[in-house]
Amino acid sequence: MKRVLLWPNPTLKLVSAPVDIQELNADPTAVKALVDLAKDMATTMGTYRGVGLAAVQIGIPVRVITTYTDGTPRVYVNPRVVRLEGGSRMVREGCLSIPGIFEQTRRSESVVLAFQPLLTDSVGAEETFTAHGLLAQVLAHECEHLDGKIAMVDDAPSATRQLIRGDLSKRRRGGLLRDYV
């Protein structure tokens, strides 16, 4: 398990680097390292009781995310939102890097996602699928992390960001966030 970075840690603003699939697949040690990262991310996500996690949230700015919305952890390598579909709606959204805080965020009903699946001994060819509902929301949120964005704070008014920052600082000083970096 890894520790999750607490907002506003500057690493969370980094744009994550793509995984070089050709290079990775040529090196069994690199594939094992990516599989180990995915396992760490799934364990961390479960420990922190999340439904999604981007590698950058544990201090590793590479384009890998995990989700857990249907009882099975899933890994997406080099994910990218191809397009947003359906209407948009306001949803109550949280973030593992901003524990205990939930804000209204606008999200699309569906997300078309392109990604490369992590297999046991390699990374596969790019696939595309359409996610709906909670999975669409989680994928959009995690892909934003890979681009250095957290919509629930970046799109919030300055006063809201200040309140969130103050709340997190107070809880950190009180020892309530010692599991965070």
pTM: predicted TM-score of the whole model, two decimal places: 0.94
Tell me the average pLDDT across 147-154: 95
Q: What is the dihedral of CA 167, 154, 116, 130, to 10 degrees?
A: 100
Q: State the pLDDT confidence band at 33, using cuts at 50, 70 and 90.
A: very high
Q: State the pLDDT confidence band at 71, using cuts at 50, 70 and 90.
A: confident
Distance from C-alpha of 85 to C-alpha of 8, rounded to nearest angstrom = 30
Q: In this predicted structure, what is the pLDDT of residue 160?
A: 93
Tell me the average pLDDT across 111-138: 94
Residues near 178 by Cβ (< 8 Å), separated by ≥ 6? none
Catalytic one of 93, 103, 126, 142: 142
Beta carbons of 96 and 50 less than 8 angstroms apart:
yes
Fold of 10-173: Peptide Deformylase (3.90.45)
Q: Which residues pair with 104 in a beta bridge?
A: 92
What sign does the dihedral 139-14-170-179 (CA atoms) show? positive
Specify whether 93 is catalytic. no
